[in-house]
Amino acid sequence: MIREPKNPIITTANVKPSHDFLKVDGVFNCGAVKMGDEYLLLCRVAESCAEQPEDAVCIPIYDEVLDGLKLERLARKEIDCLYDMSDSRMIYKKNTGSIRKIKYLTSISHLRLARSRDGVNFTVEEKPLLPFSGRYERWGMEDPRITYLEEEGRYCITYTAVSEVGAMPALLITEDFQNFQRIGCIFPPENKDVVIFPRKIRGLYYAFHRPVPSEIGMPDIWVSTSPDLIHWGNHRHVCGVSEEGWENGRIGSGIPPFWTKEGWLHIYHGADTRNRYCLGAMLTDLENTDKILKKASKPILEPEASYETEGFFGGVVFTCGGVLENSRLSVYYGAADDKIAKAEFSMEEIQQALEQ
């Protein structure tokens, strides 16, 4: 595995805020695709208020009635008694009994395209790819994945629509990254990390996803099928978190799976209970996609470089996209929830990792 020497390849310094009253907190977790001779990264850009007033903390929220951003004001004098702000990503409401309830996110994310001819030097577009839409995106759009449907010549973009009623996977379809068909939310909350397979199997679309049960069960990876990309069923459990070690907290799909002769190669993330995120690899059966043929026991990428261990939320490598060319897999990943980095793997070394 080779970390790109120019890492991190995209940072907040490369991204213009979407509004003059916002600042960019992070550019990370990007979907990736090669379209013609151009590499496209669809990045998650997280923004918060550029300047906070003395007496309040302001949080940008999309208001679907106004069809624009509004600011939620939390009075500073109330913060200590009402909210737990110890996690840089979210604000919890204190004293809600046994359930730890997220009250706000500290930033709002949108999707932004970055383009490159060489897969390393990217230019980030000046504006969001598309506006927020509807009440389920009030807290933003996160963690996009791109699947090129080989037989149809169109791209599926899955992302997490976030609002106070939950985190839900939503779907956009495009042929050109200019015109989009909004399919809306395809799984109920809480669910994240949806990746659609690039080919149909026995006439059906397939997707891995990650529901979050609140009582029985754990945040594990599941697979479901659909005749039309809208209605999903036939839910099957694929892989659970481990009892101990690097993936004992939560797991979720990363890159849409790659078809190989031996099976679907699936790069995913695993976090421990202390929220350290690594990348793992597994191979699932080409037809019975809930059957794991091989699984690497150790992570294929861990947060070790300083840009991975330090940042908005340190100790995180999180991928949503990669490009496979000539038996080399370029994995684009979010590092510490505020920048984008790249690591290159040969298919041989991934094969070897799957055997161990």
Q: What is the dihedral of CA 344, 258, 349, 298, to 10 degrees?
A: 100
| Chain center to CA of 12 | 17
In this chain, which of 122, 313, 332, 333 binds ligand MAN, going by CB under 6 A?
313
Do 59 and 68 contact (CB within 8 A), yes or no?
Answer: no
| Measured distance CA(348)–CA(211) in Å, rounded | 32
Q: How far is the CB of 343 from ligand MAN (least distance, A)?
A: 16
Instruction: Decide whether 277 or 307 has the Cβ nearer to ligand MAN.
Output: 277
Q: Return the range that interacts with ligand MAN (CB under 6 A); candidates 5-13, 72-80, 179-187, 312-320.
A: 312-320
Residue 194: half-sphere exposure toward Cβ, Cα within 13 Å: 31
Q: Phi/psi at 135 (nearest 5 deg)? A: -70, -20
Q: Which stretch binds ligand MAN (CB under 6 A): 116-124, 125-133, 286-294, 313-321?
A: 313-321
Of the candidate residues 25, 47, 137, 143, the single one contacting ligand MAN (CB under 6 A) = 143
Does the footprint of ligand MAN cover residue 337 (CB under 6 A)?
yes
Residue nearer to ligand MAN on the CB measure, 119 or 334? 334
Question: What is the residue whose two structure tokens read 């979050």?
Answer: 212
Binding residue for ligand MAN (CB under 6 A) from 137, 142, 247, 308? 142
Q: Which residues, 6 or more positions from 287, have their beta carbon under 8 angstroms from its beta carbon?
A: 201, 202
- Applying CB under 6 A, the span of 120-128, 255-263, 310-318, 343-351 interacting with ligand MAN comes to 310-318
Of the pair 53, 217, the CB lying nearest ligand MAN is at: 217
| CA dist., res. 265 & res. 169, Å (int) | 22
Contact 330, 323 (CB under 8 A): yes
338 binds ligand MAN (CB under 6 A): no
Which of 145-153, 194-202, 254-262, 311-319 is the region at the interface with ligand MAN (rule: CB under 6 A)? Answer: 311-319
CB of 75 to ligand MAN, least distance (A): 27
Q: Does 277 bind ligand MAN (CB under 6 A)?
A: yes
- Residue 225 is a binding residue for ligand MAN (CB under 6 A): no
Question: Do residues 224 and 232 make contact, with C-beta atoms less than 8 angstroms apart?
Answer: yes
| Cα gap 29→344, rounded to integer Å | 16
SS3 62: strand
Residues near ligand MAN, by CB under 6 A = 29, 89, 142-143, 192, 277, 313, 316, 318, 334, 337
